[in-house]
């Protein structure tokens, strides 16, 4: 991180007060990176403008910050890499991260623009893509995990982060690059080989960090210690607990392997069994400005709590004061409305698992 800060400081040397040197990036409007448009759109002026923004905001380490408006003008010399975060010196927070889809989506967008072959700055887009991949390779721990923030920032940011599907997004990208799938036909054989190696290491740490209870693999936690792989907490309201949504997403990553090893098959079978075990039926979760409410409803489900206590397998809910509750209605109004305490996404993973198991699982279901 010191090198990145020094690079920004060097840009700002000699600038006058009140210039762009003190400006922060514009916050993202909330509609995410446009990755689902028609292929020809990625050669359009609108797409090239976004690509220029992405290149300009690439950090010295090669990654990108989160929640930045990519439809805004390019970053100017001395301008901050992110829009800032209260309490952080010079807004230096999440500068280079895989959180909130950052870095992986910038790389995917650049790949689509490169695949279009349009624009006078194709060489710059390719160089930025390679630098971004190098960033991921450098950020990866020897055991295959990835920190939430890189260069390392300390605290929970250094943990192996499955939260919000951070590593799952990176693993999927690595797989596409490794196979030169779709938009990634421009990738060199050397870069593809390095992506394959990185992907395989990520798969290994996913399997190694799966939580075992009495020897039985279950799901995963939001974050794991980068050395011991033990589960660790994150923000005050994110306790050490098994997580349903991220576990389901990790199963999808493992199921992408076209020739799964016995270890992969065992991990997927166990993870799917755990999701089935903790599924909730007959309850309906509704979020509103007044607060999320869980109510009985005949025929409802399956539904999953975001967090499950590792020892009891009961849903648990955290508040900003670090208190842990077994009833979501006990939370403060701000936390009850500001977090997805119940999810339904794992159902789609279990549907996919049914098809996968018929082909790969010894049990066939």
Which residues are annotated as catalytic?
A: 100, 235
Burial class (CB in 10 A: 0-12, 13-18, 19+), 63: buried
Can you list the positions of beta strands (E) in 276-341? 283-286, 293-296, 304-305, 307-308, 317-318, 324-325
Enclosing H/E stretch for 221 = strand 220-221
Bridge-partner residues for 232, per DSSP?
223
Token readout for 95 is 């500068």
CA dihedral for 303, 335, 25, 86, sign (positive or negative): negative
- Separation CA 47–CA 37 (nearest Å): 10
Nearest to 247 by CA among 324, 307, 300: 307
- Separation CA 224–CA 143 (nearest Å): 12
b vs e for 111-143, b when ≥16 Cβ sit within 10 Å of the residue's Cβ? Answer: bbbbbbebbeebeebbebbbbbbebbeebbbeb
Question: Phi and psi for 211 in degrees, rounded to 5?
Answer: -70, 130
Token readout for 108 is 């995917």
Enclosing H/E stretch for 107 = helix 104-116
Bridge-partner residues for 213, per DSSP?
216
Write down the residue that tokens 């060199």 correspond to.
188
Nearest to 223 by CA among 166, 279, 266, 169: 166
């Amino acid at each position: 991180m010191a090198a990145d800060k020094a690079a920004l400081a060097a840009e700002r040397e000699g600038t006058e007060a009140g210039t762009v040197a003190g400006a922060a990036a514009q916050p993202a409007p909330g509609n995410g990176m446009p990755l689902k448009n028609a292929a020809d759109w990625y050669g359009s002026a609108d797409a090239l403008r976004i690509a220029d923004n992405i290149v300009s905001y690439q950090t010295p380490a090669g990654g990108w910050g989160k929640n930045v408006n990519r439809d805004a003008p390019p970053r100017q010399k001395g301008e901050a890499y992110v829009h800032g975060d209260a309490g952080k010196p010079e807004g230096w927070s999440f500068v280079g991260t895989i959180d909130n889809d950052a870095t992986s989506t910038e790389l995917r967008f650049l790949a689509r623009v490169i695949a279009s072959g349009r624009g006078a700055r194709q060489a710059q887009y390719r160089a930025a893509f390679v630098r971004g991949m190098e960033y991921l390779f450098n950020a990866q721990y020897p055991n295959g995990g990835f920190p939430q923030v890189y260069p390392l920032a300390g605290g929970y940011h250094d943990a192996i982060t499955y939260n919000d599907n951070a590593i799952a997004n990176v693993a999927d990208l690595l797989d596409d690059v490794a196979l030169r799938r779709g938009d990634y036909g421009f990738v060199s054989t050397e870069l593809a080989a390095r992506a394959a190696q990185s992907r395989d290491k990520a798969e290994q740490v996913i399997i190694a960090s799966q939580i075992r209870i009495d020897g039985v693999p279950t799901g995963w936690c939001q974050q794991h210690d980068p050395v011991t792989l033990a589960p660790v907490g994150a923000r005050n309201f994110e306790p050490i607990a098994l997580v349903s949504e991220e576990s389901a997403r990790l199963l999808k990553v493992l199921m992408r392997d076209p020739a799964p090893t016995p270890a992969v098959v065992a991990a997927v079978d166990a993870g799917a069994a755990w999701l089935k075990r903790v599924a909730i039926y007959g309850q309906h979760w509704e979020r509103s400005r007044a607060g999320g409410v869980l109510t009985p409803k005949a025929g409802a489900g399956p539904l999953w709590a975001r967090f499950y206590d590792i020892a009891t397998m009961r849903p648990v809910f955290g508040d900003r004061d670090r208190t842990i509750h077994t009833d979501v209605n006990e939370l403060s109004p701000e936390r009850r409305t500001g977090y997805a305490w119940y999810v339904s996404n794992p159902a789609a993973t279990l549907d996919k698992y049914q098809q996968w198991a018929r082909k790969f699982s010894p049990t066939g279901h």
